[in-house]
Amino acid sequence: MFNWLKNIITHEIDSANERREENKKIIAFFPERFKHWGSGSVSDTRTIEKCAQYREEYRAKQKEIAVEKAREIAEMKEFNAKISKIFLRRVCYIDSNIFMSENNVIELLFDVISNKELVLADDNIVVIKEQYNELYKLKSSNQNDVSYKARLAFRRIEALYSEKILKINSLDADLKGESYADVAFVKEIVMQLKKGLLISFITEDLDLKIRLNLQVSSLGDIEQKNLKIYSLKDLEV
């Protein structure tokens, strides 16, 4: 009999403590509804009654938040799976228009790579000399938007280079040489495919995609299969 009564009392105390903690969370979640309420205790009658008015709404909001968080986690897993497919065990070239993009998906792409959420090999990403020179010249553009985006590209390149995820091919100390990257990209990628390497190329340049595909079409079936070209749309989830 005594144990039965003790269990009931313990249960009531636990329930009261849980309700008190939930009231604290309700007040913190709806601060504007309690800002003129004074400094009364979370356990006083008036506060308990006011929290009770918002309890169901609070619980519904928490469920919405939990569902949204689960959706974001699922989307992030899907995004990471896509990025893994693009980068892992492949040499990856990223066009300048991607390095310069302020698109949210591209921001996420570089965050994932820079934060090492994927285990990438050293020098997994390659910046060719002509691309580097092209971006360097764009930094001095009279168009503020272009120069800003070129500086953004350099910040991303520097971050990946410092993590040894990215390498820059045959860069001249005096920045001499070609600064038009499209033709160089085609030559570079075709050369690497002939060596039997698996290549990923991310670009939004339709003309460059066509030119590259035309050159690769003259290679063997294996080389053609070893090249995967991705656009911004391919990264979206």
**pLDDT of amino acid 6:** 47
Higher pLDDT, 72 or 206: 206
User: Which residues are paired to 91 by β-bridges?
Assistant: 199
Q: Enter the tokens of residue 100.
A: 């310069």
Q: pLDDT digit string (tens) for 121-149?
A: 667 899 999 999 999 999 888 888 999 99
d(CA 25, CA 19): 10
Domains and CATH numbers, the chain: 2-73 (no CATH), 88-235 (3.40.50.1010)
Higher pLDDT, 127 or 163: 127
Q: pLDDT digit string (tens) for 85-114?
A: 888 888 999 999 999 999 989 998 998 887
Alpha helices in 139-205 (DSSP H): 144-162, 181-194
**Where are any strands of DSSP class E within 20-163?**
91-94, 125-127
| Mean pLDDT, residues 201-223 | 94
d(CA 194, CA 179): 24
**pLDDT of amino acid 177:** 55
- With cut-offs at 50, 70 and 90, classify the pLDDT of residue 15: low
Among 4-8, 115-119, 214-218, 226-230, which is the least confidently predicted range? 4-8
Q: What is the phi-psi region of residue 218: left when phi exceeds 0, alpha when psi lies from -120 to 50, beta otherwise?
A: alpha
Edge to edge, what strands does the sheet with 166-168 contain?
A: 166-168, 125-127, 91-94, 199-202, 227-230
- According to DSSP, residue 116 is labeled T
Q: What percent of the chain has pLDDT over 70?
A: 83
- With cut-offs at 50, 70 and 90, classify the pLDDT of residue 42: low
**Is pLDDT of 176 > 60?**
no
d(CA 113, CA 80): 10
**pLDDT of amino acid 81:** 86
**pLDDT of amino acid 198:** 94
Q: What percent of the chain has pLDDT over 90?
A: 37
Secondary structure class of 211 (helix, strand, coil): helix
- Secondary structure in 3-state letters for the chain: CHHHHHHHHHHHHHHHHHHHHHHHHHHHHCHHHHCCCCCCCCCCHHHHHHHHHHHHHHHHHHHHHHHHHHHHHHHHHHHHHHHHHHHCCCEEEECHHHHCCCCHHHHHHHHHHHCCCCCCCCCCEEECHHHHHHHHHHCCCCCHHHHHHHHHHHHHHHHHHHCCCEEECCCCCCCCCCCCHHHHHHHHHHHHHHCCCCEEEECCCHHHHHHHHHHHCCCCHHHHHCEEEECHHHHCC
- With cut-offs at 50, 70 and 90, classify the pLDDT of residue 229: very high
- With cut-offs at 50, 70 and 90, classify the pLDDT of residue 163: confident
Contact criterion met (CB below 8 Å) for 62 and 54 = no
The pTM assigned to this predicted structure is 0.72
d(CA 70, CA 75): 9
Q: Enter the tokens of residue 136.
A: 């360097």
